[in-house]
């Protein structure tokens, strides 16, 4: 893969995938400088990047992507020439409780960053999106980059809004923009409201593992490290105006993943607890990622079984990180969302 150079603005770099990406760039691309613009919401955590905070190639700016003045100022002052746009509200269940922040950050925030990018004349705008924009699949098949956009949750709808705005900025203004769509990611520093880290931290504490509905929903799992390498590849060599799916082919049934986590943590299956299903719950996602393999030569390298083992180990060793999260706002969310639920 070609080396990245210049100044790369990463929005949402304090979040799960964003922070993994910042660390990945600093490690693998020594000629790149990174400016991380992040609002530090409940899911953004400065501790995620504490180990690189003093790196001379790294700058952190605390700001909201909806703040047009600050975004434009940062692009100019830092001489940003490429943008990787992660900043987003990402949790489907929260979007079902209240969609306002999702529309604001994901749609309006993307418009603000696009507009600033256009005015600054950046040479690359990479928009990080999700397979959820395609909707849900039955038992077979996989989404390609030209599958229709049929989002089902408010979160997915907000990401679809952002995707079509990015496309419009490319077509209308010639902005050199690319969209990537990934499947479910897992890895270190993932906020424990998401399925895999939630199952791990509950298992490590001997708490019930809440399984929505029958638990037979299927997700495709990609390790964040593989995703970061794919994003760097697209940033370096992707074609403007294109969409690239970033998948792994590692489809798993939710119940099987939860059972494996119980096995890895030495906990009994009696902790599995079926709870009320998520409204509009997408049955299955699967991505066809032949295009990125064919055009850019990227392929996933971390298989799910060793990847999951490694991540369980990471959470076991970083209990200070997640225990601090569990003691904050998370407790109220967890109580409001799961409190007393049984099927
Ligand atoms: O596919 C990419 C998407 O993956 C990203 O765009 C989203 O930001 C990310 O949150 C994720 O969406 P999902 O809805 O698939 O992820 P989540 O971790 O919320 O749930 C994964 C599966 O596990 C889903 O079928 C719902 C189920 N689940 C989830 C939670 C939190 C449970 O059974 N129990 C739970 O407590």
Task: For strands 251-253 and 218-223, give the pairing.
Answer: antiparallel
Closest CA to 108 of 122, 135, 89: 89
132 assigned to active site: yes
Q: In 10 A of CB 327, how many CB atoms? A: 9
Which residue's CA is the nearest one to ligand 1's atom 22? 195
From the list 24, 58, 134, 155, the catalytic residue is 155
Residue 194 CA to ligand 1 centre (angstroms)? 6
* Domains in the chain, number: 1
- The two tokens of residue 17 are 């995938």
Residue at 323 is within a domain: no
Q: What is the CATH number of the domain that holds 138?
A: 3.40.50.720
Residue with tokens 């100044």: 7
Q: Which residues of the chain have pLDDT under 50?
A: 342-343
Residue at 72 is within a domain: yes
Residue at 196 is within a domain: no
Range of the domain at 95: 6-186+223-246
Return d(Cα 230, Cα 39) in angstroms, integer: 25
Angle, alpha carbons 288-290-294 (nearest 5°): 165
285 assigned to active site: no
Residue 195 near ligand 1, beta carbon < 6 Å: yes
From the list 131, 145, 250, 282, the catalytic residue is 131
Closest CA to 145 of 321, 320, 20, 292: 292
pLDDT for 340: 60
Q: In 10 A of CB 152, how many CB atoms? A: 17
- Mutating to test ligand 1, I would choose from 17, 18, 105, 184 the residue with most ligand atoms within 8 A of its C-beta, which is 184
pLDDT for 343: 46
pLDDT for 2: 77
Residue at 195 is within a domain: no
* Helix (H) / strand (E) containing 322: helix 319-326
Residue at 77 is within a domain: yes
Tell me the per-residue pLDDT of 97-119, one tens digit each, with 9 for 90 and over: 999 999 999 999 999 999 999 99
Residue 131 near ligand 1, beta carbon < 6 Å: yes
Return d(Cα 304, Cα 288) in angstroms, integer: 17
Residue at 85 is within a domain: yes
Residue at 124 is within a domain: yes
Residue 184 near ligand 1, beta carbon < 6 Å: yes
Residue 91 near ligand 1, beta carbon < 6 Å: yes
Contact 66, 109 (CB under 8 A): yes
Residue at 167 is within a domain: yes
Atom of ligand 1 nearest to the CA of 278: 26
Closest CA to 304 of 197, 222, 213: 222
131 assigned to active site: yes
Return d(Cα 140, Cα 123) in angstroms, integer: 39
């Amino acid at each position: 893969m070609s080396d990245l150079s210049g100044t790369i603005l990463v929005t949402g770099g304090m979040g799960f995938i964003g922070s993994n990406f910042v660390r990945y760039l600093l490690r693998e691309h020594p000629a790149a400088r990174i400016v991380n613009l992040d609002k530090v919401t409940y899911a953004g955590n400065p501790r995620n990047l504490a180990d690189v905070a003093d790196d001379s190639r790294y700058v952190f700016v605390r700001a909201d992507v909806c703040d047009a003045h600050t975004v434009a100022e940062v692009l100019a002052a830092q001489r940003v020439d490429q943008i990787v746009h992660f900043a987003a509200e990402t949790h489907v269940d929260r979007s079902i409780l209240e969609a306002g922040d999702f529309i604001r950050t994901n749609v309006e925030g993307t418009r603000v960053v696009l507009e600033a990018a256009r005015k600054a004349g950046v040479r690359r705008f990479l928009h990080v999106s999700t397979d959820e924009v395609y909707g849900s699949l039955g038992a077979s098949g996989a989404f390609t980059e030209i599958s229709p956009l049929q989002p089902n949750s408010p979160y997915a709808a907000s990401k679809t809004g952002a995707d079509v705005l990015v496309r419009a900025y490319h077509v209308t203004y010639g902005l050199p923009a690319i969209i990537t769509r990934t499947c479910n990611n897992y890895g270190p520093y993932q906020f424990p409201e998401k399925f895999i880290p939630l199952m791990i931290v509950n298992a490590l504490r001997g708490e019930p593992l809440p399984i929505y509905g029958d638990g037979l929903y299927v997700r495709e799992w990609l390790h964040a490290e593989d995703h970061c390498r794919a994003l760097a590849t697209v940033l370096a060599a992707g074609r403007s105006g294109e969409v690239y799916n970033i998948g792994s082919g590692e489809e798993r049934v939710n119940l099987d993943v939860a059972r494996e986590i119980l096995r890895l943590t030495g906990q009994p299956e009696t902790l599995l607890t079926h709870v009320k299903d998520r409204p509009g719950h997408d049955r299955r996602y699967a991505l066809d990622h032949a295009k990125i393999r064919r055009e850019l030569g990227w392929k996933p390298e971390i298989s799910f079984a060793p990847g999951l083992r490694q991540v369980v180990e990471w959470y076991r060793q970083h209990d200070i990180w997640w225990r601090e999260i569990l003691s904050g706002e998370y407790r109220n969310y967890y109580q409001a969302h799961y409190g007393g639920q049984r099927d």
